Amino acid sequence: MKNEKDLEGYDYFNAGSVDIRVKKLKEKKRKDKIGRHYFSVFFIVVIFAGFIGILFNAQIVHGEEYEKAGSASVEKSDVKATRGEILDRNGTVLVGNRQGNSVIFDASEFPSAKEQEKRNEIILSLIELFAKNEQEWKDKLPIIIDENGNYAFKEDSDHDISVMLGEDMLNLNRYATPDNCMDALIEKYMLETYSKTDARNIASVCYQMRLNVFNKANPYVFAEDVDDITAAYIKDCGNKYKGVDVSVSAFREYPDGALAPHLLGMVGPIDAEEYETLKKRGYKMNDVVGKSGIELAMEDYLKGSDGEKTVTTSADGTVTTEFTKELINGNNVVLTIDAGLQQVLQDSLEAKCKSIASIVPHGGAAVVLNCNTGEVLASATYPTYNINEYTDNYKKLAEDKASPLWNRAFQSVYAPGSTSKPSVALAALEEGVITENTTETCYHSYKYLDMTFHCIAPHRTSIIDVRTALQDSCNIFFYKTGEKLGAEKMNTYRQLLGLGQPTGIELKENIGVLDSPSYRTAIGQTWMPGFTLQSAIGQAGNLFSPLQLANYCATIANGGTRYNVHLVKEIKNFDLSETVLQKDPEVVVQTGISSKNIDIVKQGMRRVVTASYVLRGSFNKIVSCAAKTGTSEVEHTVNGKKYVLNNGFFITFAPYENPEIAMCVAIEGAKSGTSVSSVAADVYDYYFNGKVKDKTETEQNETEEDTQVDVLLG
């Protein structure tokens, strides 16, 4: 559309139409202006209507809520779940909880990192208070001041040192010295004016605060299990210790720290490496976690789930507390062990081990099982330790050459000696290699290829059948039987009976070695012809744990059913009102071995007891039982000189007619299998007759004649 200036050149005849067009243009502009005006008014009205709606919703509909929120402080904090207890099969508390004081730093009140000097003053004052009251605080810095007054790295702290040097902490190279680290800490935390000791201690706390990600949602625990006097002083001096608070916490309690420590295990603080994994499962840096034993194996059941509470303080000072997340305390774990039987087994094993003189550090283990369920009724290791004294004595325990922290019952493996002969007898009977009437003549030596094998057992007759071979532990009979069977057939039955196989136990175990041609090939060795004969009498490279030997004995005792071995009987909720998990007997293998052949072997094992003067005298007045002794030689080097010592083994079950329990006793440095049988006798006397042998009672003396017989029967 042309404007008015554009119309000046038009002729007369077009003038009329131009006027009309100009009028229309002006009219359109007027209408457009009015339209824009109405739209603007409408838009403003809509905006105001929206504001009015929001105000109505905020002040009328939700006015009370917004007023509360706008005039109140809201703080959220965790409510710690109490860890579940560990009980024996009869309900005796083996691991419980008690209340104690924890000193914590609350980030909402504690001076911030920008106020480092104030932080340092509070921390040093606390450290001095704790020193005065002889209380311990958490000191995890892997730097100490040595006897010469120099900074040094703590021993056995490689992982902690690596974390400290990492880019998330001090960001120093891996060659940094303790002085380099302390220089960085002193500069970072403004500690230049403090003494060497004070600077190191304050740095330890500040470093741990950073490592533990100290913030409002994650308080820092300065000290645990603090006495009431120190806790009360900190509470009374709130102005002096700004942001320092005392909370009541649950701490693990061991009524008898010396009872079954290798089974129960311990809890401990989460380290930086663990936290990377555990934080994904809801753990906080200040939580404790199972470190070993049942505490570790049953962690998911024992821990529980923390709750959350929200504390709201209104403008008028009214405080309301609301639990915004449900607190679920941990479950209680009921074990299969009997505390009384456990104590008897530990005491008897300790007495027997102490009675044995040895030129090398030695120990032993024993395991008692229910033949018909696979339940562990007791398991002992010697030497042992007290959980309640573990922290104070750790260095001594860790350096002890007898390895008291090691669970020999589950993790040590030994050449089983003659205790493996029942497995060879069963294999030969089942495979038809021998019958119950098969005999071999024992001349106390056997020529095989260019080798000569010997038998040192005394025999009442030189004509030996399978029952007599088990009774007298005749090597010649088993050499010949093993030769006929072959290594693979022997091992097929050993596997069925659980030797060299996982037992199913909830704790860490060593599955040992089932020696064979294929195993030797796997480790780059050659299976020599004589190994088959050695394997038949429990030598060669076979290595089995006391736990496996006990389960193997139980499998024979119950007629050929191998159960999963287990320590957990059931899991109950925190107040014991509900069963969370019931651990029923679980059959791993029905061996399928004929009852006739099992009975033949059991009869031979019964003769082991009745034919021995020592064993007959020990057991017949207690209970009818069956057993097999074993001895294996182990070479030790002491001060450059080699010594050959015996390990003694005793596997047994009772009552013979209707077996209930089976066990294995294994003692390093014992002269024979028979010599360790007193441990089994004490267990039977308690289990069947309720008798407890006095711990100070000395071991029964054996006559010279009996001792020689014991060695030969081993």
CB count in 10 Å sphere of residue 31: 10
pLDDT of residue 573: 95
pLDDT of residue 27: 64
- Read off the pLDDT band of 46 (50, 70, 90): low
Mean pLDDT in the chain?
88
Q: CB–CB of 529/535 below 8 Å?
A: no
Q: What are 300-311's pLDDT values in tens digits?
A: 999 999 888 777
What pairing do the DSSP bridges indicate for beta strands 86-87 and 332-335? parallel
In a domain, 144, yes or no: no
> Is residue 326's pLDDT more than 60?
yes
Please identify, among 61, 78, 96, the residue that sits at the C-terminal boundary of a domain: 61
**Domain range for 37:** 4-61
- Read off the pLDDT band of 23 (50, 70, 90): low
> Is residue 322's pLDDT more than 50?
yes
Please identify, among 61, 78, 108, the residue that sits at the C-terminal boundary of a domain: 61
pLDDT of residue 400: 93
CATH of the domain at 677: 3.40.710.10
Q: Give the span between the Cα atoms of 559 and 658, in whole angstroms.
A: 10
In a domain, 311, yes or no: no
Please identify, among 35, 61, 87, the residue that sits at the C-terminal boundary of a domain: 61
Lowest-pLDDT range of 28-42, 170-184, 219-233, 566-580: 28-42
- Read off the pLDDT band of 156 (50, 70, 90): confident
> Is residue 24's pLDDT more than 70?
no
pLDDT of residue 498: 97
- Read off the pLDDT band of 6 (50, 70, 90): very low
Which has the closest alpha carbon to 237: 117, 125, 135? Answer: 125
For residue 383, whether the previous peptide bond is cis, meaning omega lies within 30 degrees of 0, is yes
182 secondary structure, DSSP code: H
- Read off the pLDDT band of 63 (50, 70, 90): low
- Read off the pLDDT band of 43 (50, 70, 90): low
Lowest-pLDDT range of 49-63, 70-84, 244-258, 527-541: 49-63
pLDDT of residue 318: 78
pLDDT of residue 702: 36
Total number of domains constituting the chain: 2
- Read off the pLDDT band of 659 (50, 70, 90): very high
Q: What are 602-634's pLDDT values in tens digits?
A: 999 999 999 998 899 999 899 999 999 999 988
In a domain, 584, yes or no: yes
Q: CB–CB of 116/102 below 8 Å?
A: no
403 secondary structure, DSSP code: -
Q: Give the span between the Cα atoms of 655 and 557, in whole angstroms.
A: 9
Lowest-pLDDT range of 90-104, 319-333, 408-422, 525-539: 319-333
pTM: 0.82
For the four alpha carbons of 394, 398, 399 and 400, in that order, the dihedral sign comes to: positive
pLDDT of residue 308: 83
> Is residue 9's pLDDT more than 50?
no
Percentage above 70 pLDDT, the chain:
87
In a domain, 614, yes or no: yes
In a domain, 241, yes or no: no
In a domain, 108, yes or no: no
Q: Give the span between the Cα atoms of 419 and 538, in whole angstroms.
A: 7
Tokens 């005793």 label which residue? 650
In a domain, 404, yes or no: yes
Which has the closest alpha carbon to 83: 268, 231, 263, 271? Answer: 268
> Is residue 87's pLDDT more than 60?
yes
Q: Give the span between the Cα atoms of 281 and 267, in whole angstroms.
A: 17
In a domain, 331, yes or no: no
Q: Indicate the SS3 state at residue 674.
A: helix
